């Protein structure tokens, strides 16, 4: 199905400001659909046809469409009316009976204007099974019609309305309150009354100011959003939360205007007490997890420092080298926990870990090797340059630790056995396609010669981690231009969003 953006870019006369306005309308027209309990279909003229470019189903009533009409030309029973409306002719916007997919429906038309220019037309199609005979339905119909009038005047959607991206956005079915221009309650739906009663507002709310009713029960010690008074009075198209009695209400205000003058407002309300409680629990758990990572990192760094002190007391070069390797491996694990402290999720941006692993591998290698740009301690030292190519992306914490150990072991092996006598370049090349990750650790040193691959404790550790922990493969090969290439090929678990 083509996207709305594609339709707008292809539609004749849909210049950028008009396209942006229609995008804004489609982003907020579910309010109108829910108030009128009707399907909304947006129509524009494209070449010689009138095409449906967007469709919204109501969440408060029955939809008249089983198949989405987006991309379809206007049906014969409404094509003439739409053509006249899009030409700017005076068209009867009263309702008429139609048939949709073998079922009776009731259809009306409404124009969409911005700055006096006609941009598109909307059909409001209501199922024939919707009676709309109750007081609540009549109130909702009247409010929906007022929004259609604002749409005709170019006042809806409300341009520049800063709607914060908070979860738990209220909708018509959650609860709706109608205010007059002074913020006095004219009508409230049953769900809205229940939400405010649970919040602590007792008795009949009608003919009372919503701001005064809410102020009486708001917790004085809790911080209050500075936008809350504007929302409760219906003066600004904003969203805000209100807390009392351990509960939380999410409020959204939609001012109603006529000829540029505010005449009232719609307040959508939803009880989000449980949602906010779970969010607070998640925030507490997140802080706890961060503290755990912080303490683990500190403990590992302490262990590495103790190993360093112990290695200095060793007289045997073999024992000193073994402790240095252990210190390097502990430091690598600490790097992963430090990276987990930086993000809000249990994932690690592994490219940053690779940078640190390269520095650690060169620093912990033979004394005859120094990092590029580092001052030479003695003339026998050779310089090792490091390079990183490609992107490894985000990796789950469970896989980041073994993968970091593998990269560090292979990089250290390349420095100590491939570059310690000649110097050169150590390159880590990453290729990521979805969950498939290939990391190549290359050096341009002496190479393996006729040997099938390196051996030793570090190599065995890397092989075990790749095969056992990551379920991948580790292979070595000689580079055509000289040197050695180690290839880690793994399929990572998908990251939950």
What are the domain boundaries of the chain? 4-152, 172-271, 276-491
Residues in the chain: 497
What's the topology of domain 276-491? Answer: Heat Shock Protein 90 (3.30.565)
State whether residue 153 is helix, strand or coil. coil
Candidates 473, 474, 476, 414; CA nearest to 445 is 414
CA separation, residue 156 to residues 239, 250, 260 (Å): 17, 22, 11
What CATH number has the domain spanning 4-152?
3.30.450.280
Lowest mean pLDDT among 50-59, 111-120, 156-165, 171-180: 156-165
Asked if 4-152 and 172-271 have one fold, the answer is yes
Average predicted confidence (pLDDT) for the chain? 80
Residue 265, CB half-sphere, CA atoms under 13 Å: how many? 26
Q: What DSSP state is assigned to residue 421? A: T
Residue 134 has pLDDT above 80, yes or no: no
> Looking at residue 14, what is its pLDDT?
46
Rounded Cα distance between 412 and 357, Å, is 9
Between CA 184 and CA 299 the distance in angstroms is 61
Among 168-182, 318-332, 365-379, the least confident range: 365-379
What's the predicted TM-score (pTM) here? 0.60
Closest to 179 (Cα-Cα) out of 253, 277, 75, 103:
253
**Per-residue b/e over 328-354, b at no fewer than 16 CB within 10 Å?**
bbbbbbbbbbbbbeeeeeebbbbbebb
- What is the DSSP pairing of strand 176-180 with strand 117-127? unpaired
Nearest to 252 by CA among 227, 275, 277: 227
Q: Across the strands, what pairs with 190? A: none
Using pLDDT thresholds of 50, 70 and 90, give the confidence band for residue 338.
Answer: low
Give the architecture-level CATH label for domain 172-271. Answer: 2-Layer Sandwich (3.30)
The per-residue pLDDT for range 477-486, each reduced to its tens digit, is 888 888 888 8
- What is the C-alpha separation between 22 and 8, in angstroms, rounded? 9
Distance CA 407, CA 413 (A): 10
């Amino acid at each position: 199905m083509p996207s709305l953006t594609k339709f707008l870019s292809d539609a004749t006369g849909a210049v950028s400001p008009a396209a942006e306005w229609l995008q804004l309308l489609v982003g907020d027209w579910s309010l109108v659909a829910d108030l009128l309990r009707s399907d909304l279909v947006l129509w524009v003229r494209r070449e010689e046809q009138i095409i449906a470019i967007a469709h919204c189903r109501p969440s408060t009533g029955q939809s008249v469409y089983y198949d989405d009409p987006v991309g379809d030309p206007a049906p014969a029973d409404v094509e003439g009316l739409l053509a006249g409306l899009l030409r700017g002719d005076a068209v009867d916007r009263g309702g008429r009976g139609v048939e949709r997919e073998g079922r009776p429906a009731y259809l009306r038309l409404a124009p969409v204007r911005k700055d006096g220019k006609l941009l598109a037309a909307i059909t409001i199609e209501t199922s024939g099974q919707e009676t709309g005979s109750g007081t609540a339905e009549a109130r909702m119909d009247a409010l929906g019609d007022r929004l259609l009038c604002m749409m005709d005047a170019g006042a809806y959607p409300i341009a520049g309305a800063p709607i914060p991206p908070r979860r738990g956005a209220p909708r018509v079915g959650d609860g709706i309150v109608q205010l007059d221009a002074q913020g006095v309650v004219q009508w409230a739906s049953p769900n809205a009354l229940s939400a405010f009663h649970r919040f602590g507002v007792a008795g009949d709310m009608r003919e009372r100011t919503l701001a005064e009713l809410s102020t009486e029960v708001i917790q004085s010690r809790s911080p209050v959003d500075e936008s809350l008074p504007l929302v409760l009075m219906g003066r600004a198209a904003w969203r805000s939360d209100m807390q009392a009695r351990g509960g939380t209400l999410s409020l959204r205000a939609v001012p109603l205007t006529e000829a540029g003058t505010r005449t009232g407002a719609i307040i959508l309300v939803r009880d989000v007490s449980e949602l906010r409680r779970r969010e607070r629990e998640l925030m507490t758990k997140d802080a706890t997890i961060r503290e755990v990572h912080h303490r683990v990192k500190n403990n590992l760094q302490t262990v590495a420092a103790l190993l360093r002190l112990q290695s200095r007391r060793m007289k045997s070069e073999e024992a000193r080298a073994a402790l240095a390797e252990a210190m390097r491996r502990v430091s690598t694990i600490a790097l992963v926990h430090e990276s987990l402290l930086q993000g809000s999720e249990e994932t690690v941006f592994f490219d940053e870990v690779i940078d640190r692993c390269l520095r650690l591998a060169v620093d912990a290698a033979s004394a005859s090797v120094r990092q590029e740009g580092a001052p030479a301690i003695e003339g026998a030292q050779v310089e090792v340059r490091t390079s990183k190519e490609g992107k490894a992306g985000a990796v789950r914490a469970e896989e980041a630790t073994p993968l970091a150990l593998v990269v560090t072991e292979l990089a250290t092996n390349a420095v100590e056995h491939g570059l310690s006598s000649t110097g050169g370049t150590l390159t880590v090349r990453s290729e990521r396609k979805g969950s498939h990750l290939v990391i190549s650790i290359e050096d341009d040193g002496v190479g393996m010669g006729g040997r099938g691959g390196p051996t030793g404790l570090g190599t065995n550790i890397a092989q075990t981690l790749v095969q056992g922990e990551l379920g991948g493969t580790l292979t070595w090969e000689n580079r055509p231009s000289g040197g050695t290439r180690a290839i880690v090929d793994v399929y990572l678990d998908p990251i939950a969003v």
